[in-house]
Chain A
Amino acid sequence: MNTSNKPVCALLWIAAYMILIDIAINVAFPYPKDPHNISPSAIAQFFEYGRSVEGKLTRMTGKTDASSAPIISAGWLQDAQIKPTSNLQVRPNTTVVTVYGMSHAVLLAQDLATIDKSLSVRIFGAPGAVPTWSYASYLFDRKQQHSDVVVLGIMTLGVPLICTTSGATNHFESVEPYTYPRFFFSNGMLRSALPPFISIDQYRDTFYNPDKWNSYVKWLKQYDKYYDPLLFHKTFLDSSSLLRMLRRAYAHTSQRSKMAEVYEDRNGFNGNSEEVQILLTVIRKFSEDARQNNSLPIIYIVNNVFLSDHLFTILRPTLFADKILFLSTHDICPPNDPRNYLPDSHFIPSKNMELARAMAKIIMENNHNRSVRSQLVR
């Protein structure tokens, strides 16, 4: 071969191989078209992570519940949609405990219900719920049902996402369309902006109406810190598995840099960030509101694996100053010991039960409004 042609030939060979790999991945690991198939193979899922947000929503959203992926019904705030995510019911002569938060909080609540029969546990959860979702959920729920005890679940990984407004922007790889308000400071006061839709029906209506959808995108651009047009909009790039991987890499890089403004592994949270300021205000407001409403507020602090007790550390001054009850997981499940955690980041069942017992103890010792004796199952 002529030496001068060699680089050109090599480049052509490499390009041909890359096209071949791209096609082979799309053919060998197609993502199932059926939206009800929620557990495709790990490899098929892996190559789909980089699909645009709109691309993922299109795949999971049908015109009816029957033609949609089940996940799209999770996490909606609107009153009609707020219902316990488990079938636990409020029983007479029991202490009503309502837990708001992410899956860790849901699992805690489920164990709590089994260990103390004097408690009626209600649960409001959303996948990966951020603290502002939990707080908004409480604000919606308190209009419907009085609770003796209200538990707000927050986790380390949720705090940097406080300035997001939807499951569609806060976790790029696993998109969910549910929305929640964007809290912000205005003239030193905590305000909120409600998204254009907060129920699944409103979402469907918006999603299938280009004008409404465009105005929603404009709203996202204005209020959501994690909205990124390169990640959000469906384009021809979705068809190529290699370009999807590039988009995924970009998503990780850009979200990591946004997260780094709020949280760093070594130093913990940046106390001056807007997210931390909103979190501290939300916690203060939550406890004030609950006390005014004659409820006992408790903060459930989940310190994620390998992230030390940074969340507890940033909250501690506020919790002690405002005498807010809390359960922080770091004592029972040291975050630096991965044996306390399942591969999906939840606590192992025995530790979860231990946490639930600790929560039951806090409730038992502090809930003076209780009309019944505790029936703690040992």
Chain B
Amino acid sequence: MPFNSVTFITFFILVYALYRQLPHKGQNILLLIASYLFYAWWSLRFLFLIILSTTLDYVCGLMIGEGFIPKAKRHLISSWLVLSALFLVAIQWNRINDGQLSQKHLFSRLFSDKTALYILLATVLIIVAFNLLNDIFVRLTIPNRQQLFLILSIVGNLSILCAFKYLNFFIDNLQPILHALGFDSNRLHLQIVLPVGLSFYIFMTMSYTIDIYRRRLIPTKHVHEYALFVAFFPKLLAGPIERAAAFLPQIANKRDLTTDKLMSGLQQTLSGFFKKLVIADGVAGTVSGIFGHTYQLSWADATLGTFLFTIQIYCDFSGYSDIAIGTARLLGFELMTNFNFPYFSRNPSEFWGRWHISLSSWFRDYVFFPLGGPYGSPSRWMRNVLVTFLLVGFWHGAAWNYILWGLYHGILLCLHRIKESLRSSKRRPQHLLSKSLTTLAFFVLINFSWILFRSSSPSQIADIVRPLFHDIGNLKLNVDLPTKAALLGFPIFLFMEFLGNFARGRRIDQIIPLPLWTALDAAMIFIILLALANVPSGFIYFQF
């Protein structure tokens, strides 16, 4: 159920209407049910993965933090997981109406998928093993038990991630070795799609157990609260990657639904829809035309394509984040800021403090600092930066272009750090012109990085880069321009970005008078209406 659909808007209105009528605990239950429905709309089977990851980390969290799980709770969780495997995976609901078979064949039809039955069996075996071994776990020394369950959590989560996201990539790249060992790599391929939002919720659940292990968080005792933290629908599919320390208290405590929150939530949601429907979707056709070209690109094509993709990916992802944050705020939740006007950055360090903040801070806290962080010899911190950004690239997808993109940013950061260390300690403040030129120069470097991100092969990278240097000044455009709505909306988008950047965290309605910001809102609604006729495209980050 994507945000940019009538189905979601109807769903949200219904949930919201009900939500306002319920007491606090009822609201939490409603949100959990709504979140599971929201995900099941896309795939009922993959909902089991969310429940599996939730159960794994809830159990690991309690075993690390508390050392035991009461028997009644253990049985409740066990039953919940087995029933989920039964109803979400093992039973083939789509076969109920198949064919003209009589009722006596119904059972065999419902359980006709062998793989699904293996998954059910494996779930039952894991549950039985855990319950049988529980006494042994409880008797372990605290450090041993904590380490064991931390490893279980990390290995379990990364196994799910690798199986769905990286296995085929590794098989493809290890093909010669596998072939030499007598394996048919084609048969090893998993014929499945990547579950939407997998990388986002796996990172959320992993940070929960790691934070408990580091004694920065006390595990929650309420399974439904933890489940809601993982599955909360506004952030489920593409983040922000929330931390339990900030989010769980919001679930546990009564939430204020003030008029102010309502207004700012609506404003941010509107801004998100504007960025997505008007700008991102409006330039998508031109970008696809250029990156999917079958002819020689001109300099104008390559430059426009690169620039528009830079705009598209920002508006697509920050638009999603705005809708997520806005709708969450309407429900009384505060999600973390994910984008802080990143294209106004003047260096890579600043950029990564403004772009996909929830991911960059995750990698900073759970990869970069454990590796040693910015401390130690220059070669050591450069290694730490490069390893971290290689993983950032790899997080985006199992493909070499994402790894190249990550390394490119790692190298930019290293070069920036070297440049900073060479500069004299006494710095003169930069003039506005100098600041603007630095911003522009860095924006060009960012544009270049998106070529690596968007291209699907080295030859495609070469096709886009070649005319940028060898065909300079050729203004012949071979593709259609963005939609009318995008062209009309672009000045408003720019104005909002400049205003937002200079507002330094304050909301738009706090810095300009009511008649002016309502005029902006009306203009955005008007242009959204214009854009509604365009072909909607999915959110880019759903594929990660």
A249 with B478, Cβ < 8 A, contacts A46-B484, A336-B294, A337-B294 known: no
Cβ < 8 Å to A, chain B residues 277-299:
289, 292-295
A14 with B532, Cβ < 8 A, contacts A334-B294, A338-B478, A338-B479 known: no
Contact B295–A339 (Cβ < 8 Å): yes
Q: In the complex, A339→B294 CA distance in Å? A: 10
- Contact of A188 with B by CB under 8 A: no
A246 with B526, Cβ < 8 A, contacts A6-B259, A10-B514 known: no
Contact B478–A10 (Cβ < 8 Å): no
User: A340's closest neighbor in chain B, by CB?
Assistant: B295
Contact B518–A245 (Cβ < 8 Å): no
Contact A245–B259 (Cβ < 8 Å): no
Cβ < 8 Å to A, chain B residues 25-72:
none
Q: In the complex, A42→B156 CA distance in Å? A: 58
Contact with B259, one of A4, A21, A251, A336 (Cβ below 8 angstroms): A4
Contact B518–A13 (Cβ < 8 Å): yes
Cβ < 8 Å to B, chain A residues 312-361:
334, 336-339, 343
- Contact of A208 with B by CB under 8 A: no
Chain B contacts for A246, CB-based, 8 A: 529, 532
Contact with A along B457-482 (1 / 0, CB 8 A): 00000000000000000000011100
B273 → chain A, closest Cβ, in Å?
A: 13
Q: In the complex, A367→B526 CA distance in Å? A: 58
Contact A343–B480 (Cβ < 8 Å): yes
- Contact of B15 with A by CB under 8 A: no
- Contact of B122 with A by CB under 8 A: no
Contact A7–B262 (Cβ < 8 Å): yes
Q: In the complex, A251→B292 CA distance in Å? A: 28
Contact A245–B529 (Cβ < 8 Å): yes
Contact B522–A18 (Cβ < 8 Å): yes
A248 with B533, Cβ < 8 A, contacts A4-B259, A338-B479 known: yes
Contact A336–B529 (Cβ < 8 Å): no
Report 30 cross-chain contacts, Cβ distance below 8 Å, ordered by A residue.
A1-B514, A3-B259, A6-B514, A7-B262, A10-B509, A10-B521, A13-B514, A13-B515, A14-B518, A14-B521, A14-B522, A17-B519, A17-B523, A18-B525, A21-B522, A21-B526, A46-B484, A242-B526, A245-B529, A246-B529, A249-B533, A252-B535, A253-B532, A336-B293, A336-B294, A337-B294, A337-B295, A338-B478, A338-B479, A339-B478
Chain A contacts for B535, CB-based, 8 A: 252, 256
User: B260's closest neighbor in chain A, by CB?
Assistant: A3
Contact B518–A17 (Cβ < 8 Å): yes
Given contacts A246-B532, A252-B534, could you give 9 more A-B pairs where the C-beta distance is less than 8 Å?
A7-B262, A10-B521, A17-B518, A17-B519, A18-B525, A21-B522, A252-B533, A253-B6, A343-B480
- Contact of A9 with B by CB under 8 A: yes
Q: In the complex, A186→B516 CA distance in Å? A: 63
Number of A-B contacts (CB under 8 A): 74
Chain B contacts for A17, CB-based, 8 A: 518-519, 522-523
User: B262's closest neighbor in chain A, by CB?
Assistant: A7
Contact A18–B526 (Cβ < 8 Å): yes
- Contact of B530 with A by CB under 8 A: yes
- Contact of A140 with B by CB under 8 A: no
Chain A contacts for B515, CB-based, 8 A: 13
- Contact of B263 with A by CB under 8 A: yes
A132 → chain B, closest Cβ, in Å?
A: 26
Q: In the complex, A267→B448 CA distance in Å? A: 32
A61 → chain B, closest Cβ, in Å?
A: 25
Contact B532–A245 (Cβ < 8 Å): yes
Chain A contacts for B509, CB-based, 8 A: 10
Q: In the complex, A286→B484 CA distance in Å? A: 42
Chain A contacts for B6, CB-based, 8 A: 253
- Contact of A185 with B by CB under 8 A: no
B258 → chain A, closest Cβ, in Å?
A: 9
| Closest 5 pairs between A and B when the two form their complex, measured CB to CB | A249-B532, A17-B522, A13-B518, A252-B533, A336-B294
Chain B contacts for A21, CB-based, 8 A: 522-523, 526
Q: In the complex, A17→B518 CA distance in Å? A: 8
Contact A10–B518 (Cβ < 8 Å): yes
User: B531's closest neighbor in chain A, by CB?
Assistant: A249
Q: In the complex, A246→B526 CA distance in Å? A: 10
Q: In the complex, A306→B259 CA distance in Å? A: 48
Contact B292–A336 (Cβ < 8 Å): yes
Among A3, A9, A17, A18, chain B packs the most CB atoms within 10 A around the CB of A17
User: A46's closest neighbor in chain B, by CB?
Assistant: B484
User: A247's closest neighbor in chain B, by CB?
Assistant: B533
Chain B contacts for A49, CB-based, 8 A: 533
Q: In the complex, A306→B484 CA distance in Å? A: 20
A338 with B529, Cβ < 8 A, contacts A7-B259, A14-B518 known: no
Contact with A along B292-308 (1 / 0, CB 8 A): 11110000000000000
User: A11's closest neighbor in chain B, by CB?
Assistant: B518
Contact A338–B480 (Cβ < 8 Å): yes
Chain B contacts for A9, CB-based, 8 A: 514
B373 → chain A, closest Cβ, in Å?
A: 44
A6 with B263, Cβ < 8 A, contacts A14-B518, A339-B295 known: yes
User: B292's closest neighbor in chain A, by CB?
Assistant: A336
User: B6's closest neighbor in chain A, by CB?
Assistant: A253
Q: In the complex, A49→B529 CA distance in Å? A: 13
